[in-house]
Amino acid sequence: MKKVFHHLGAVLILLAFTAQNISAKDKSDNSEPAKKDSVHLDVLNYDTTGSVTIGLGLAKFEIPKGFKYLNGKQSKYVLHDLWGNPPSETLGMIFPEEADNIIPTTWAIEITYDEDGHVKDDDAKDIKYDELLEQMQKEVKEINPERKKQGYPTFQLTGWASPPYYDEKEKKLHWAKRILFEGDSSETLNYNIRVLGRKGVLVLNAIGTMDQLAEIKSKINPILANVNFNDGNTYADFDSNADKVAAYGIGGLIAGGVLLKTGLFAKIGLVLLKFGKLIFVGAAAVVGGIVKFFKGKKDNEVNPNA
């Protein structure tokens, strides 16, 4: 499926690179050839087979057939310089094998890590995802006036693009949301994968569009099966005497638990979208009421008549 890349910055970089090459050719044959940056437009060095390390020995990705992997340094180049997203501590990116080697414009999955503590999963079986979605939608509506006041587009959380699924045995979770931004005629895809570990979670976020949902969803299983924490960092390695426990469980993770950090309640969270478009999501909208939602459920369990 052919895609057109619209990010002006990338086009200007490409033109500058072309001009540099032409200028270099005009120089004397005795001149020293231009030194290429290891992360330049024409040198995206993908790993296509074998096992790659994620972070400093944190986890590994066994590259399955049909995919390729880009390391953290080059991923930052793609995300920030080519696609125009703000800086992030990306550990790498997973692409389908057909992704362009110069300016990849297909969908991709970014990998980061949140060390917020060990996420307990004992709430997973009791979560009513329709209720959770309704609460999230309510909070989005409540925060929209403030977003508009601050100059950001309002948005609607229109529903699950793929409802949450938690694999208790493998400690892996994935779900997708449909988001419609003010002024847009089509919905944005927000596909999320989480791998639970000893001290935190691997965060895998799909960067794509709604029309790519079926393709992305069809390829989630081989990605899930091949991303795993290394020994010492697995969920089973949790030490209750030494390790911190996260302030949220599976429900909070889905609702935005990874944003439950000091100072983030009042800030605007970012969801990455390629083609240079920045999508602003109110962190407080996704998280603030969710805390009340789960706290309320616990209170009701103690006092059903409350």
For 228-243, the pLDDT digits (tens) are 999 999 999 999 999 9
Rounded to whole angstroms, the Cα distance separating 254 from 236 reads: 21
Six token digits for residue 227: 């991303």
Angle, vertex CA 161, rays to CA 60 and CA 186, nearest 5: 115
Q: Tell me which of 138 and 54 has the higher pLDDT.
A: 54
H or E segment to which residue 165 belongs: strand 155-167
pTM, full prediction: 0.72
Q: Evaluate if residue 184 carries a pLDDT over 80.
A: yes
Q: Evaluate if residue 193 carries a pLDDT over 80.
A: yes
Residue with tokens 């609702």: 255
Amino acid, res. 191? Y
Cβ 256 vs Cβ 283: under 8 Å: yes
Task: State mean pLDDT over 52-74.
Answer: 95
Rounded to whole angstroms, the Cα distance separating 15 from 106 reads: 21
pLDDT at site 168: 95
> How many C-beta atoms surround the C-beta of residue 95 within 10 A?
22
Cβ 188 vs Cβ 177: under 8 Å: no
CA distances from 109 to 32, 54, 58, 186 (A): 39, 13, 18, 21
Q: Evaluate if residue 8 carries a pLDDT over 60.
A: no
pLDDT at site 103: 79
Cβ 109 vs Cβ 37: under 8 Å: no
Q: Evaluate if residue 190 carries a pLDDT over 50.
A: yes
Helices and strands per DSSP (H, E), number in the chain: 7, 12
Listed by start position, the domains of the chain span 37-302
Six token digits for residue 154: 């309002």
Q: Evaluate if residue 263 carries a pLDDT over 50.
A: no
